[in-house]
Amino acid sequence: MKLLIDECLHTSLVELAHAAGHAADHVNYLALGGYKDWQLMAIIREQEYTFVTNNRVDFLRLHGNEPIHAGVIVIVPNVPPADQKTLLSAALKHVGTRDLTNTIVEVRYTANRITCSHYLLPESSE
């Protein structure tokens, strides 16, 4: 899995992803900070990134318009960097070696517990 981590998340998530065996870049490290969401989406599509973000609404809409995408990991809610690392680590363990094509994985704290859910987007018409 090749991850692109959004600017709304801490840069330390790149190290965590590398330690878990994934290729990863951060929007800021690629000088993409400040790009509009649709501009990032073009790069995400072109480079076949699985996108890691806290910006759930905008990127689910953008990915939902794509016939095929490499997946999205959404960290909910907006939490401090240490908690972002905990949540991303849980999401990566949840994903394991699964293919995330057209899949959304949401990871969140629920009643002091971490929960991961995943679903298809766009939804399959089958």
pTM of this prediction? Answer: 0.93
Q: Which of 8, 94, 102 is nearest to 53 (CA)?
A: 8
C-alpha of 76 from chain center: 11
Domain ranges, ordered by start, for the chain? 2-71+87-96+106-120
Predicted pLDDT of residue 5 = 98
Please list the alpha-helical segments (H only) found in the chain: 12-19, 37-47, 56-64, 81-95
Predicted pLDDT of residue 122 = 82
Q: Hey, what are 47's tokens?
A: 């480079």
- Percent above pLDDT 70 for the chain: 97
Query: For the chain, which ranges sit under pLDDT 50?
Result: 126
Residues 6+ apart with CB under 8 A from 63: 41, 51, 69, 72, 104, 121
